[in-house]
Amino acid sequence: MTFVYVLVSNEKDTYYEQTMISASSLLAHNKGAKVTIIVDQGTAATFTGKRTYHEKLDVQIREIQVPESYNNRDRSRFLKTTMYHYVDEDFLFIDGDTLVCEELKPDFSEDMVIGMVLDRHQKISEGSYQNFYEKRSKPLHWSAGYQDMHFNSGVIWVKKSPKAQKFFDEWHHLWKETLEKYAVVYDQTALNEVNVRLGGIVKEMDGTWNCQATRRSSFLKYLYSAKIMHYYASFGLTCFDLADKGVQRSILEMNHKKLDAILANPKIAFCSVQDVNADLISVKVQRTAFYRAIVFMYKRLKPVYRVIDKACGLIIRK
């Protein structure tokens, strides 16, 4: 089998650095593993100077021609939805903003043609993202997920088969169609709609294969045994130290002590201040527009926030 990454990057972002860190952690725990990094022609053209770190690793670079009219975001999603055709055997796709924590031995059941972990380790009805999923899916008359499950595409197990090929072909078609017709760019939304149309072809993997260390995620119960940690580097708010772009860029430098410390023990590499919701009520409150309004006022309208907070304090004391 092969481990697969998709990389679209230039000197202005840190996707190259993220992927190099992830691939390095993978190879550190999986000696001799086959690793393929699928790139577009624009990314390949940037492989000069410091951006040749991949040459230090035992990885294959697979360059694919992508329509020049696509921006980098769409190029990445083009490659991700077509990657099935660039790999000749069963494979495990891994997002770049990840860390591999141990030896990976995919020994899934034979009927798992496509495998993924639930998004944020929650059923749709359990977590705080139901409105988010529906906001993206309903305008297209799609489903938010199959049987209360919305899958995260950060780690995907793929067993080469006609069923898997059909899944990827339909995923690419649906993503491309909605991009061209409606300028909708959400590849994960399209993925979950295809899963519904194919009757639930995606099977649930254990959460340790994609431990999503991010806000409003039920990842704590998988952290101790996590095989792959997914830290969501593209989000503005994150709890994981490696999401720091300065730390990411240091992989291309001679010295990177902070990065080394994170790689040595990634499961404790979290920000010093954490807030764990201990009850479902807190989670439900975070779903509301009122909660979002409070956060907005705190960030953008601090004087208004202080007045309301003070008034609430007076009412509660009474």
Domain ranges of the chain: 2-268, 288-317
Neighbours of 297 (CB within 10 A): 17
Q: Indicate the pairing of strand 91-94 with strand 2-7.
A: parallel
Range scoring the smallest mean pLDDT among 36-45, 191-200, 272-281, 299-308 = 272-281
Tell me the pLDDT tens digit for each residue of 107-152. Answer: 999 999 999 999 999 999 987 788 889 999 999 999 999 999 999 9
> Distances in Å between the alpha carbon of 198 and those of 185, 201, 239, 309?
21, 6, 35, 50
Domain 2-268 belongs in CATH node 3.20.20.450: no
Phi, psi of 39 (to 5 degrees): -130, 160
How confident is residue 232, by pLDDT bands cut at 50, 70 and 90?
confident
Q: What's the mean pLDDT in 66-75?
A: 96
What rounded mean pLDDT belongs to the chain? 93
For residue 318, what pLDDT band results from cuts at 50, 70 and 90?
low
pLDDT at position 166, please?
A: 99
